[in-house]
Each structure stands twice: as C-alpha cells, then as structure tokens.
Amino acid sequence: MNQTPPLFMQVGDKQIGDPPRSIAYRARLASASGANRPGGVWLGGFRSDMLSTKAARLDEEAAAQGRAFLRFDYSGHGESGGLFEDGTIGAWLEESLAMIRAQTSGPQILVGSSMGGWIALLAARALAQAGEADRLAGLLLIAPAVDFTQALLWPKLPPAARRDLEQKGVWLRPSAYSPQPIPITARLIEEGRQNLLMGAPIRAYCPVHILQGMHDPDVPYTHALHLVEHMAEDPVAITLIKDGDHRLSREEDIARLLGAYQALA
C-alpha cells in the first residue's frame, strides 16, 4: 500500500527534560460528515509503528466515516527521529500528549496497543489533571501492557540479563517478531517505575473497552483482568478472545477492533 510521506513535529525541551525529538505523524482531518464525532489517536506498542495493520485499518475506517484520525511514531520508532535505546515511558508519554494537544481538537478516542495501553492511561490521567478531561471520548486498549517494565519484564529477567543491565546499562533481548534483538536499557526500567499505575485506583475519565487474547504470550489475559479490577470508577468492558494472540491482527480480530471503536464513538 502506498503511503503519503509523514509530517514532522519537534517535541521536547532540553532545558527542562529530554532533548527535542522529531516526531513523524499522519493526521487525517475530519470532513463535514464526521466533524461532530470524536476523532481517534493511535498509540502504538513497544517497537511498533504507525504503519501497522491495526493502525492502518483504523485510519481507513475513519476515512470512510469522515472522521479525524492521528497516527504518529514515538521517538526511536518507525519514521521518527532519535534512538530507540534513548527512549523511556516518560519521553513517549510527553510526545503523545504533545501530539494530542497540537494535532487534534475536541474529544478523542485513544487507541492504545500493548505498551500504548499504558501510555493511553497515563495520557488520560495527565489530561484530567490539566483540566482537559473533556478531550477524552473513550479508551480502546488492545492487550494493554500496563506497567510492563516492572510487572511483566523485570520478574522474568534471567540472571545474565540483570548482570548486563547492571554492568553495561543495556540488555539485548531476543525478539519473537524480529531477527534483531531489542535493546532493553536500565534507564527504561528505572524510569518506568516512576510511571507505574497498578497498586492504586486507575481512572480513565471516560468509557473503556479492552480487547485481550487468551493465548497472548507477552501480556497474559490475567494481567488485563487485574487492570479491570483497578478501574472501579469508569465504565469498562473487556472482550476476551479465546484463541487470540498478542498482535490480534487476524481479520476476525480487526473486525472486533473496528466494532469496539464504533461502539465508543
């Protein structure tokens, strides 16, 4: 599929935080038929990008309905600038909030895939704390890897990996999705601890729908159920897909995704 070239926006201020990063994005504007309906924002997963199957299909759905839709790549991902190993949850959250505020208007459905589910909940909290809860029309979370650095990654690290993190500051983790290993940095894990959500009530400030595969080797479905237990104050629906994996990119999975997105709109 041919893709239009991305646009770019600078995010970050080296005087107060991480250095500026060049963030690639594609923003679909609403037409008259969809101008009064919520827009959508894609928040991708760890090492994923805005050209993924799910992001592209959601963008196509938005186009068919005349609705706005924003896709972007975190720094160190896809077409954006920066090095992946320099990234942290806090930096990717900063980029997400900057893109939402600069490139969208009105209520939005935040669609968070895997790590993007964690980012979506952190963004919802930040928007609400800033008095911008009216920007939240809904959260659609796909295999949400909330707190994954601490809850899912850290407990499974082999002794050799912990030694590499302590002595070298990085561990090259083999990937089931790429021939290249994934650099996991000590900074990613340490900074992730500053953004943990589990262990206290979690608010989304809007309706939430979670899609979770029960054959997910990366984010166990019990993790998604544990998340729901933390979200007592918001309306939350969860769809457990008995034979679903982590990616949930089969046609039947995409149909569920588009149906859940429509329901939130």
Query: Residues 119, 97: contact at Cβ < 8 Å?
Result: no
Burial tier of 149 (Cβ tally within 10 Å: 0-12, 13-18, 19+): buried
SS3 38: coil
* Residues forming the active site: 114, 216, 246
From first CA to last CA, the distance across the chain in angstroms is 27
Q: Which residues contact 246 (CB under 8 A, 6 or more apart)?
A: 114, 143, 213, 216, 217, 218, 219
Q: Which two tokens stand for residue 182?
A: 């994934």
Using CA atoms, how far apart are residues 109 and 73, in angstroms rounded to an integer?
17
Length of the chain: 265
Using CA atoms, how far apart are residues 39 and 242, in angstroms rounded to an integer?
30
Q: Which residues contact 65 (CB under 8 A, 6 or more apart)?
A: 33, 34, 37
